[in-house]
Structure 1
C-alpha cells in the first residue's frame, strides 16, 4: 500500500457544533487507524461554500506536488461543493496516483457521525495501487464515484452522493476497495490550468424567463453556461440574445434536469437544441451545469480564448470528449 497525503479543508467533518469553529487536521484524523506514513496538510478550515478559486488553484498545486512525489492524496472538505472540487482536481491534476475526495454529512458530535468511516474508506482508496489511473474519485458511504459523474443529490442523507446515469465505479468492502469498472479516458482532454481571475457565468432558465439575467452577462465575463430546459431548450425570444452572446464569448448549453445528455437534432423548432446549436452555442453533453462551468473556466484559463475571439472547435471537442460516444 502506498503513502498518502491528506489535505484537510474544513467542512462538516471538522465542525465543532453548529458554529464556525473547526477542528485541526490532526484532530480530524485523531482516533482513526491511519497508516503511519500518512502525511497531513492542514490546508484550510472553512465551510466548503466559502472556498474560492484561489483556494482551489493553490490546492491543485499542492496535490500535484504530492502525487508527483509518488503519494496518493485524500482531500477532506465540506460536501456543499465537494463535487466541484473533485471535478476541478480531475481537470488540473493529471496523474496515475489515486486521489480521493471525501467529507461528512453529520457533525462529529451527532449520533451516527459518518466522517470517520468516510475518511477511512478514502484513505484505503488513495493507498491502493488498484485505484490508480481512475482519475479523481469521490468516496463516501463506502461507494467510489468518478468525479466527472458524482453529484450531491440530497440535503441531509449520508448516501447523498450518486452518479446519475452511471452509478458508482466501485465500493469499499471490509476496508478494501473493489473497482467494478474503469473510465476509458481521462477527464481532461489535455493539460489544463486555472486562472482565478477568469469569470464564467451560470444562468439557469425558468418558466416565463424573459432573459433579464442574460443582460447581466457583460464584459466582466469570459464565458457563459446556460442551464436550459430538458435536453437543451430555451424560450424562443431568448435565442437571439443567446446568439449575440455566443458571437462574443463561448456559451455552453447544458441541461438543468440533473441527469442525461443534451441533444443535437431531435427537436428543430425555435428555441430547440438544434436551433441554439445552429446559433453558436456549444453542447455540454452529459456534464451538469456546475461541472460544465468548471470545464469552460479551465479551457478559457488554458488559452481557448484570445483577443481575436475564442476557439469554438477546441472547446466543443473538450465537451465531446466526455459525452459518452465511445470516448469516455
Structure 2
C-alpha cells in the first residue's frame, strides 16, 4: 500500500492551489447586503402586536424548510471552529479562506432571520429557542482528516445550495425567492472552492481521495441533522420535493463524482479499489431507495387527489 500523506504534508502540498482558488473566489464573488433584500417596511412592534399563528403567509412546508435552513446557518460558529481546526495552519491561504468563508456565510443567517421576523412568517420565540438549541448542541466533524473534511463540504455546500434554492421557489413569495437565490450563489462559489481543492488533491494522493469520498458519500448527513425534531422536518421537506433522495442522488452526489472522475481513476491500490466498489454498490442502493420513495409519494398524492375529487363531486 502506498504511503499516505499526513494532513500537514497534504495541506502544504496543496497550499499554492488554495491560494489560487482563493484569488479566483475573490474575483468571482459579489458583495451584497442583507438589508437590501428584506422588506423592513413590513416590520411591526412585537410588544404592541404579539406574534400569532395566523400571521404567516408562507405554507407550513415552506416555513419548515426556512426554519431548517436558518437553524443550519445559525451553527456557523461551530463550523468555523471545525474548519479552522481542519486546515490548522496560521498565516496561510487556508486561514485566509476560512475567515473569508465564515464572513460570507454569516450574512445568510442575518438575512433569513430578518426576513422571517419582519414578515412574521415564523414565531420569533421559536427562532430564538431554536438558535440556542442548535448552538448548544454544536457541530462536530468527528475527527475527520483534511481530505474527508473537504469531501464532505464539497457535497454539503452543493446540497445546501439546492435546498435553499428549492425552498425559495417553493415559497411562492418573490421576496423569499430572491433571498434564497442570493444565498445560493454564495453556496455555489463555496462548493466550487472545495470541489476544486479535492480535484487537486486527487493528483497528490489519489488513493486517499477515493477513500475519503467513499466515506463521506456513504456516511453523509446534512449539518443540521443534530437539531431537535430534524427527522420529522426532513421528511416533510422531502415529501414536498424540496430536498429528497432523488435530489441528493441526482443533483448533489453524481455531479461532483463525475467532475472528479472517481470511477475513471486508474492505478488505485487494493484498499482504495475496494472502497470504490463499495461506493458503487451504495449508489445503486441509494438510486433504488429514491425510486421507491418517489413511487410511494406519487401513490399517496394520487389517493389524496382521488379523495378530494370524490368529496367535491
Q: Do both share a fold (TM > 0.5)? A: no
Who wins on radius of gyration, i.e. which is larger? 2
Structure with bigger RCO (C-alpha 8 Å, 6+ apart): 2
Under TM normalisation by the shorter chain, which class is it? under 0.3
